[in-house]
Structure 1
Amino acid sequence: MRLLSAPVWAIAAGCLLFTASGAVAETRFAPVEGSQVAYEACGDGPKTVVLIHDGILDSSAWDGVWPRLCDAFTVVRYDRRGYGASPAATAPYDPVADLAAVLQAAGVANATLVGSSAGGGVAVEYALAHPDAVKGLVLVGPAVSGFRPTDHFMRRTANLVGLLSRGRLEEAARDPYILTPSAEAARAFVVADLGAHPGNFGAGRMMRSGEGVLGRLKDLSAPTLIVTGEIDMPDVHAHAGALEALIPGARRLVMPGGGHFIYLERPDAFVSVLEDFLAAP
């Protein structure tokens, strides 16, 4: 069952979700090569937003922004293979093809893609493969293939992986770059989601990625906003700056009061940022 936070709640064993305005979002499954992927769609606004989660949580990470987005836009979110309600991958798979399958199943011809961390990498690769289908890109603490991590990043990642593999979820959720120290409600959500969906940890290992897209970023034509939380890792801030320089016309925004999961900690402020971006001609 999907974990939800107010003002979204589950009925019928988590298959139907209601937004604050009463809009219903039913969990559906899109066929992908050798499997299926769970997705939800809501709203009927003239602009479409697709939410792509990070490499640790699943699509419920967007619960805090989902109701307000559903009231203003057509919105799709999905669980990548092995995350949330989607079955685990049994062989390496192409995340770009999976996203294309989800959008086809949801009847989406073009959209603004909002990708968090590894989801930002998926959004970039999709935009390069399907430029005419992408109206805009919002990359949140993005992890894009081709950047070389620092030793600090590798040590921190190894520590986080060790904590998660031993089930020490509370300690993992206190990683200093994910959330600010006082964000107890958001931290409890992270712990609960990881506890309810242990398959999330390690699910991304089956995802195939390209050789690296740095040399192709100049080919991106969609308006692009790069968002980082102010306490996110130095690597993330450095990569965000590089993306701003390499993607034509890209703009970068550092949001105060949060880290890697800024949309968990400051959902209303994050939605306002999205609304402003989507309002631009």
Structure 2
Amino acid sequence: MRLFSTPAAAIAAGCLLLCGGGAAAQAQTSTRATLDIDGGTLAYETCGVGPKAIVLLHDGILHSAAFDDVWPILCQRFRVVRYDRRGYGASSPAPAAYAPAKDLEALMKAVGLEHATFVGSSSGSGIAVDYALAHPEAVDRLVLVGPWVSGFDVSLGFIARSLNLVAKVKMGDLDGAVRDPYILTKTADAERARVVAWLKANPGNLGAGARERPLAVAKPRLGEIQAPTLVLVGEVDIKDVQEQAKALETLMPHARRMVVPASGHLMYVERPATFAEIVRAFVEEQP
């Protein structure tokens, strides 16, 4: 989800929770670093030593901190990488238009990963798809969360809603913007407050996606992706995202869709244990 961008973008159980000392110990082994790229830096973090790897790709308004509650859970079982795209969080802004999938390629080399499962949220799912089309051999699996992939049309209702969100942000009404009914469920007050706090601490996030460009229009090429794909959509997410999730399930040869109950667009913020278990089960699933 993006609040500022080009029209297509800005309109753009008890499960695994061993979350006591084990999770805390694993979290302490996380390593933060930066990658020099085009005169700027990408901030990234790695953790875990499992035989399988996961790369987390954030959405278009938050940075990698959005995965804070999922991170220690996944780090117990997998090698995990997360990073801030240009202009988000601790990464420097892009000086000009660029392709985020090329940055992802550079990051994969920097951390020494030849292949991984890519978990992309919203606009991050579009980057995961771009990378899969450019580097099919490097993609074990895809998890596309509240997907937003290039080539799909948007409804007039979605455009109106996006313009309303932009107006609220420009007026400084972040709380009002985050009260959008599709981002989180109505009762997720604590999670909503966290999102507002993240945005206030990282104002550069809003509009950082404006210079992002896909490598190619993805929709006509979705049939080329052979990696097993799980498409996750929150129960209350907006209709455009729901419809795109259904289309991906149809257009991608090995995709299946799951509606996550009692969750919105940012399901990993609202239901981290459930989200982590879904990802864990999919990554460890036998072919």
TM-score (normalised: structure 2): 0.90
- Aligned partner (choices 201, 204, 208) of residue 206 of structure 2: 201
**Identical aligned pairs, as a percentage?**
51
Matches within 5 A, 1:1-281: 20-22=24-26, 23-281=28-286
Residues 47 and 111, structure 1, Cα contact 8 Å, conserved in 2: yes
**Alignment CA distance shift 1:71-1:170 (3 Å):** same
Question: What do residues 120-173 of structure 1 show as CA deviations (whole Å, max 9, x unaligned)?
Answer: 000000000000001000000011000000000000011111111222111011
Q: Distance in 1 between matches of 2:119 and 2:215?
A: 20
Cα shift at 1:75: 0.2
Letter in 1 for 2:201: A
Q: Distance in 2 between matches of 1:100 and 1:19?
A: 29
List, as ranges, runs of 4+ consecutive aligned residues in structure 1 with deviation greater than 6 Å. Answer: none
Bigger relative CO (Cα 8 Å, ≥ 6 apart)? 2
Deviates more, 1:142-151 or 1:201-210: 201-210
Residues 96 and 126, structure 1, Cα contact 8 Å, conserved in 2: yes
Structure 2, unmatched stretches of 5+, are 1-18
Alignment partner of 1:112: what SS? strand
Residues 130 and 216, structure 2, Cα contact 8 Å, conserved in 1: no
Residues 101 and 214, structure 2, Cα contact 8 Å, conserved in 1: no
Q: Distance in 1 between matches of 2:249 and 2:224?
A: 13
Question: What do residues 83-102 of structure 1 show as CA deviations (whole Å, max 9, x unaligned)?
Answer: 00000111111111100111
Count of aligned pairs: 266
Q: Distance in 2 between matches of 1:52 and 1:210?
A: 16
Residues 53 and 59, structure 1, Cα contact 8 Å, conserved in 2: yes
Q: Distance in 1 between matches of 2:35 and 2:216?
A: 27
Alignment partner of 2:226: what SS? coil
Question: What do residues 9-48 of structure 1 show as CA deviations (whole Å, max 9, x unaligned)?
Answer: xxxxxxxxx9512432232111223322110000001110
Question: What do residues 51-103 of structure 1 show as CA deviations (whole Å, max 9, x unaligned)?
Answer: 00000000000001000001110000000000000001111111111001111
Residues 21 and 71, structure 1, Cα contact 8 Å, conserved in 2: no
Q: Distance in 2 between matches of 1:257 and 1:154?
A: 25
Cα shift at 1:211: 4.4
Query: Superposition RMSD on alpha carbons, in Å?
Result: 1.5
Question: What do residues 248-278 of structure 1 show as CA deviations (whole Å, max 9, x unaligned)?
Answer: 0200000001100011100000011011101
